[in-house]
Structure 1
């Protein structure tokens, strides 16, 4: 079926005389002329008292549903839908043949992969899961993409080369989830991620710096997929420019999908101690605190923010920054933002939040953190948490926190026994 075969002719009497669109709810006026209900209603609401098609003065502004025409439009619309579906099936088959030819051309001329060719393959991959599986099963295609990605990091100065890299990264991102042996793809990228010529990481960083939002999301997720071992986490995190660029993605002004891609990648690479310290030095705690305080942050974002804060709280530099007051922000510290999110996002977020508070207040007995919890009404929230159906891992940490505040706090809660089953905090 060719493109011309899909040309659809709409019967003229299916179109509304006002909007000229196919009518969704045809109704007839007293003049016998049929219009789409929404269009004629707007005409009448504007104060008109004539038939738009004949300009006759209306003896009545009532209209009657044209059920016969409505049924004919439904039958016609269904036939068009089925015709389009058949076209898509046939076109998909043709596209597969075209994609195979494009891949073969890339094999023969790796260095001359054009923007248009990659764009066609990318569109094909975006269309369906079946298409992505087809690409994943094309012999040698994944390795070919890795070679192209590795070769582009040092030469991608022009906008055309950046576009090529963006398309390669987005295709690889699609394929990682579909290739049965995705570990092999990761190994190929890690092998091509050393310093010097032929560096996948250099290309991924370039896309992270200069690509579109969609491409940066793909780049961050590909980096996350690479960071599977302690060695690879360090390889990614210690590449100059990677951590600062990932932190830029987490600005509250960014799209939530972009923020979450950056946070997920940071969580993946931040396991080694020296990476945590580096993140703290780059101002990660301040950025994460802003996200916690942002009312527009999604539940998923809050969970990831607290998970990352939990990670950096395991090093003394991280705990110091978490407890440090921001003078220009009114004197509040990150602890206050954490307390505010207790019981307000999800059970996962609550677990991370309690773990952070337990670490800084109970395990390492940071005095400034304890004072911040008290100031933010944290004791009441911890009591409410104990009353709730909190998870088994949260309950003992919450009890430990209450013990600390029972000793240090001068509040009326100081005599609270953590074995009490019924609590009236108000």
Structure 2
């Protein structure tokens, strides 16, 4: 009985396999009509559009063709007198009907595409938003910003069209007009605009000036300190892009009460890697190019007082590559001030982590790690620091760095460190005698 059941089961499997094979053959035999294929990609068109030459292409393919600098029709090679793309609704319906007819063979119906936003529509909504903002009509502004947000969610093409047609400068001005008053009164519209601001860069100088006003910067601080995680994330993303557009906005933010603490708060209570990277980038802008040397020490010391050095070391324990690289960059600048170096040396994790991160993150991460070790060992000139670095394998790692190759500036620091370490290698059994040192100059080993 068991044997016969097993045979029947095997027979059913064989029949099923045969049926699936036949089905695969049927699917393979289905040929897409030539006029349904895009002449560029040769794939089934999902959003057919016709150019001024009369040729039809899939919108994504012809967009890519034009964006790469081509100004001719791919098939006819005629110069395009206009880049306008007219949706071919008749052909799209024919393709959809064909997909429905072949649904039983595994062909899925293409969805009806949304028509991309046009420059005229962007300019029109800009005027309407600006008008509503002048009247302080928060309800109307909220409605229009919601429409802009919906357009952006539809496609990257829509976002690009809106950015190119100045929607960023418009929303920056609207944000500034509502932020200049009572934030509590206008918090809803500010949050709505804030949800759009991260993808409207780059901004014009006027747009940057609006977002960089004292009223807007104070609003960003309030959002960073708030409980709305999405608003906190969007605020730090906008600040990063604003600071990268002009250093003066990073300097201005430092002068805003509570700004420094708010940025550190994003690092201390992480929302997501993207927000953490943005916050670290903001800190780097604030501490890297301050107006004067006195301000430089003041800013860096303030971040050290807020416990940033310890936070950076905690991040380095298990953070992803992008976050670790930025954390090392911030720590490298903080170690330019005496308080930063002292705080780093107080932490038992510092030297083991720095040595471990060499050649483990990226070339830039390695340069940051080597630079920090050099500052701690060379500037502080404490023998205990050198010995600790040797004990955790710094000598071996630096030899490998020389062999792999780094920039001239870091190579000089590696050479300097090896000379310092060589004075103490005989005292410690921490250097592997089997390592190949033939590529080092004799002076390193004397």
The normalised TM-score by structure 2 is: 0.67
Structure 1's 380 and 139: CA in aligned 2 closer, same or farther, altered over 3 A? closer
Report what 2:22 is aligned to. 65
Report what 2:224 is aligned to. 208
SS in 2 for 1:109: helix
1:81 to 19, 24, 46: 46
Please say if 1:357 is aligned against 2:373: yes
Please say if 1:233 is aligned against 2:257: no
Report what 1:151 is aligned to. 178
1:321 to 320, 339, 343: 343
The Cα of 1:107 is off from its aligned counterpart by 2.1
Report what 2:169 is aligned to. 142
The Cα of 1:69 is off from its aligned counterpart by 4.6
Report what 1:420 is aligned to. 440
1:167 to 192, 203, 214: 192
Please say if 1:281 is aligned against 2:305: yes
Structure 1's 358 and 79: CA in aligned 2 closer, same or farther, altered over 3 A? closer
Please say if 1:183 is aligned against 2:202: no
1:309 to 331, 335, 347: 331
Report what 2:399 is aligned to. 383
The Cα of 1:257 is off from its aligned counterpart by 1.4
CA contact (8 A) 2:223 2:232 kept: yes
CA contact (8 A) 2:172 2:210 kept: no
CA distance in 1, matches of 2:359, 2:171: 49
The Cα of 1:222 is off from its aligned counterpart by 2.4
Deviations 1:223-258 (A, max 9, x none): 234336665323212323322332233358642212
Structure 1's 323 and 243: CA in aligned 2 closer, same or farther, altered over 3 A? same
Structure 1's 223 and 59: CA in aligned 2 closer, same or farther, altered over 3 A? closer
SS in 1 for 2:267: coil
The normalised TM-score by structure 1 is: 0.70
Structure 1's 303 and 144: CA in aligned 2 closer, same or farther, altered over 3 A? closer
CA distance in 2, matches of 1:104, 1:123: 18
CA distance in 1, matches of 2:154, 2:390: 53
Equivalenced residues, count: 353
The Cα of 1:214 is off from its aligned counterpart by 5.2
CA contact (8 A) 1:285 1:334 kept: no
Report what 1:222 is aligned to. 238
Please give the root-mean-square deviation of Cα atoms over the aligned residues, in Å: 3.9
The Cα of 1:70 is off from its aligned counterpart by 5.6
Structure 1's 230 and 69: CA in aligned 2 closer, same or farther, altered over 3 A? closer
SS in 2 for 1:360: helix
SS in 2 for 1:387: helix
CA distance in 2, matches of 1:292, 1:313: 16
CA distance in 1, matches of 2:13, 2:401: 67
CA distance in 2, matches of 1:407, 1:257: 44
CA distance in 1, matches of 2:357, 2:322: 13
CA distance in 1, matches of 2:405, 2:275: 33
Structure 1's 139 and 291: CA in aligned 2 closer, same or farther, altered over 3 A? closer
CA contact (8 A) 1:333 1:372 kept: no
Report what 1:105 is aligned to. 128
Deviations 1:271-302 (A, max 9, x none): 233221111111111110011111xx222222
- 264-273 or 130-139, larger mean C-alpha shift: 130-139
Note the residue ranges of structure 2 that are not aligned, 5 or more in a row.
1-7, 38-42, 49-57, 60-86, 90-111, 289-295
The Cα of 1:352 is off from its aligned counterpart by 0.7
